[in-house]
Structure 1
Amino acid sequence: MKFPQLAGTVILGFAAISLFANCNSDSKGGSGIGKIFSSDTTKKKTDSTVNVMKPVDPKLYDSLMKKLANGDTTGKWPVKKQPYPLAGAILPFKRIVVYYGNLHSKKMGALGEYAPKEMWQRLNAEVKHWEKADPSTPVQPGLHYIAAVASGTPGKDGKYINRMGNKQIDSVLKIAKMQPNTIVFLDLQVALSTIKAELPHIEKYLELPYVHLGIDPEFSMKDGSLPGKKIGTYDAVDVNYVTQYLADIVKKHNLPPKVFVLHRFTKKMVTNSANIKLRPEVQVVVHMDGWGEPDLKIGTYRHFIQNEPVQFTGFKLFYKNDLKKEPKRLMTPEELLKLKPKPIYIQYQ
């Protein structure tokens, strides 16, 4: 769960950490996931999910970025002095639409709530809606999997983190391959650990061309607080470490750029955002991760995404939490396309 913040008022609550209080998983695979599949890490350049590696056309890129700005008059969008991405970049040529969740729990998102076949039927319906709302922008479907979950118990290392084993991640890759050209995001909630310590756990997956990354400041508890008690934070220094880490992988394995999703719904979740460094190997999406009624979500987007530009923007829709208050409805693609800038990454939970 994510909780919006406006006008200095923070609404806090336990996220999914309690769901994992008694769930033990080790790096050899864990339990409770159902059928297990082996990972194929050998198809780094030949897998069907790899984009055709065509060089980026600067004029086309600039025109699409201007289109995403959607007539913004603040002068902040499109972001100035950003590097052109390497060949094979997804953004801004396609809009990414994903289902988010964890296979251990039906309460953490659509990915995990539904059996794979039904999940794909539902996600494909959302994809078609976006294609209809914005025919000029192709949709890139994806699965966004929480690969490290902030936990309600300390675990063996006392870090309050529940790392999904390789076999669980392999299961998600298998589900992704049910539909050709699907991309996968692995999301990290580091709790009392650090992003530097957690990235190596998933590095072999990040070496795959169709696997990308998300990190969640909400559960980065730098002051030693337990996850779920307060909202955590990352600084631009942390973000720059991650983008350099991803850039090194891209260069080493000759991959297309990685899409890097950074969750945000309060100011303090990402400090010194103006110091975030952009790189040709990484496409940074700052993702509006708050829930609530449409006006609240739009306000959160304006305060913490539009006002502090980084590169690209995302927007999250909650099938359940967004309906808790009047008018009890989900925002539509048509509404989101009116935002300045238009979000190019859409996540459904």
Structure 2
Amino acid sequence: MTLALSQTRLRTPRRQVALLLVSMLATPLGLQAQSSDSTRPNPRLPKVLLIATGGTIAGVQDAPGSLGSYRAGTLTAEQIIASVPELSKHAQIETEQFSNVPSTSITPAQWLALSKRIEKVLKDRDDLAGVVVTHGTDRLEETAFFLYLTVRSDKPVIVVGSQRPATGISPDGPINLLAAVRTAASPQAKGKGVMVVMDDRILSAREVRKIYQRTGGFSGGEMGMLGVVGGNGPDFLFAPTRRHGEDSEFDMRKVDSLPRVELAFSYPGGTGPRFEGQPAGVAVATNGMTRAESELFTALRRAGVVVVTVFAYGDNMSAARDPDAPRTEPRTAAPGDSTRSDSTRAPQPPPAPPMVTAQHLTPAKARILLMVALTRTKDPVEIQRYFLRY
């Protein structure tokens, strides 16, 4: 009998096994959720909208239960929900399929559409406690930060993903999703902005970053850990202090596309990047520019390109200059001062507009904030104010 079963497995194509498992995830558990009193949605529970975008959390292997490769963005929102019947004990879940792609396929145009959709549904639906967005982890932190800047609501928006596919050995998606829904449904989450919930950690979207490709691979750094999700639900210990949510100045409703902003890296011997066409802005990851790089970015600033400098690892502690702070008057040369020779000095070009300095942001997030700021102004002085506030 054992031999016969083994031979049957060998004759079954791997893809058919995967599809069978997907069907099991979608149908029996879904029927169980509908037929069992213990998992039937409770109308007294908070309502949470789940918006699915794809990613590993919706991924399926050709050889389920193995360590092999998988196809991200395969399961639908309904199938993901059906695979975690415990969700119905904590919230009434509604679903919406925004996309079903690997997160590397998510573009700024999709950030914009997703932000508009979330802001509108939270404004129109007083009965919604919050929104959960399922997302691939490769670009999760960037989507989350864009939403943090642009979704003007005090209701929680939770972005969640997984490092292992749904059909993998010990998938982390179900427990991450359960923690995310519990957080979105919690009154404590109100006013905390967009958050990422992974591995029972509640992380601010401003500070979160993916540091490695294993479970436990998301970190809030020194300042982004807001709380944890335990047996009694979310427990918040801290709150974000930078402007976000309903206090955001960034109204995306009439924005059709985001300005082009490039990301550049400074390095020893570097001469600076070359672009096809002129971008609206550049975020430069640098610990100190070479002379050639400095000259290039000065020329770009004179040409109207807004340049933001950001520490390469995102943890810059140096103070950015506040445009509104009192300034020290420049020294005036005394008559006969040898340092001044207006008659012999060659004409100097006008000073370039100032660089903008980013603090406590990764280069990718500095780029995103610059993109959003450029929808309101091209003045680097005003953009510096945004970088100090957000």
* TM-score with structure 2 setting the length: 0.27
Q: Which has the larger radius of gyration?
A: 2
* TM-score with structure 1 setting the length: 0.29
